[in-house]
Amino acid sequence: MTTAFDPVDLAGIPLANRIVMAPMTRNRATGGGGVPTDSMVTYYAQRASAGLIVTEASQTCAVGQGYPFTPGLHTPEQVAGWRRVTDAVHAAGGRIFAQLWHGGRIGHPVLLPDGLVPVGPSPVAAACQVFTEDGMKDCVTPHELTDADIRTTVEEFAAAARNAVEAGFDGVEIHGANGYLVHQFLAPNSNLRTDDWGGTTQGRIRFAVEVTRAVAEAVGAHRTGLRLSPGNPFNGIEEPAPEPLYTALLRAVEPLGLAYLHLCDVPDHELIARLREHFTGPLVLNPADGGRPAGPEDLPLIEDGTADLLAFGRQFLANPDLPRRLARGGPFNTPVRESFYGGDDTGYLDYPALDA
């Protein structure tokens, strides 16, 4: 019987176990320019016992920034900063993928340089607020991307993927979930287009397919993962009947031979099983169960074949040695919500390991 603690070969990348550190925005790139800091180097190295680390979302371009103090992968300084992170993780025996992100309509002009405004598939504001240094603000109506804009954005994803490999990452994960730009193209309430980038199922999946194909061509499909959250209403998304669209999307990317598919916030295991019929590669699952943190009770999802790897978020945030704690059944540090987003190293670097 396969367990979460068994090694696995991920498209040619050997992983020590099947426990993944899920991508989590922490807003700690506080030194300016979206450059990873010394604290971020320590944070990721502390968690190198994960079979695979997927970093916090990193914007692929300046206009893609959705929150303050998030890192990027579109400038030489950012690449150099991430190189320090990947070197530290590799020195500790870990593997690490960069999550590539574009916030799309989730953002605000106060976060962006040079008079830029958030962009999206259609000029429809998200019915939610976004965090800024000046407090919570309503999301604004985004600039509708033109056909030329979309093609540029696709290339920016590919360029960020190349930057990630230059920075020493083992691979990249495309953030197609949680209401950000790729998800905005998929959802019928945020994509009202009638051209080839919307209107039909094939139109709405096109951006996700083109981004995935461009990234796979840039750095290799074996270095490319894709994260999706079918039906997740986060950030103002409405997907009342997600299965047909995501089935079409997975059928379209299946021939590429991606490193993995990462599903998150999908509590319906039957839907997961049906979607998996259309993707034969490894499945990373971020379990969802009424908002509780994933924990030891989810490990049987590996044993029964529901997933090939399990991603843990808040538990990894608070337990840098999570694989060891899961193997022992605990004890587990309690995540401190007040320090999730931004701040100093308190609630970031000071969660003790078992040895402590």
Residue 97 lies in a domain: yes
Per the listing, tokens 């299965």 go with: 243
Residue 347 lies in a domain: no
- How many Å apart are CA 315 and CA 87, to the nearest integer? 24
User: pLDDT (tens digit, 9 = 90+) per residue, 83-113?
Assistant: 999 999 999 999 999 999 999 999 999 999 9
- How many Å apart are CA 284 and CA 272, to the nearest integer? 11
Residue 220 lies in a domain: yes
Catalytic residue check, 67: no
- How many Å apart are CA 25 and CA 19, to the nearest integer? 19
Of these residues, 180, 246, 260, 351, which one is catalytic? 180
Q: Which domain holds residue 234?
A: 8-339
Residue 3 lies in a domain: no
Per the listing, tokens 């209401």 go with: 179
Res. 351 pLDDT band, cuts 50 70 90: very high
User: What does the pLDDT average to over 117-121?
Assistant: 98
Torsional class of 112: left (φ above 0), alpha (ψ -120 to 50), beta (otherwise): beta
Instruction: Name the residue among 110, 120, 100 with its Cα closest to residue 59.
Output: 100
- How many Å apart are CA 117 and CA 339, to the nearest integer? 28
Cβ proximity of 334 and 352 under 8 Å:
no
User: What does the pLDDT average to over 196-207?
Assistant: 98
Query: Tell me, what's the pLDDT at 355?
Result: 80
> Per mean pLDDT, which of 5-19, 263-277, 294-308 is the most reliable?
5-19
DSSP assignment letter at 198: S
Residue 2 lies in a domain: no
Residue 233 lies in a domain: yes
Query: Tell me, what's the pLDDT at 112?
Result: 96
DSSP one-letter string for 293-331: PP-GGGTHHHHTTS-SEEEESHHHHH-TTHHHHHHHT--
User: pLDDT (tens digit, 9 = 90+) per residue, 227-284?
Assistant: 999 999 999 999 999 999 999 999 999 999 999 999 998 888 899 999 999 999 999 9
Tally of domains within the chain: 1
Query: Tell me, what's the pLDDT at 291?
Result: 67
What is the CATH classification number for the domain harbouring 174?
A: 3.20.20.70
Query: Tell me, what's the pLDDT at 214?
Result: 98
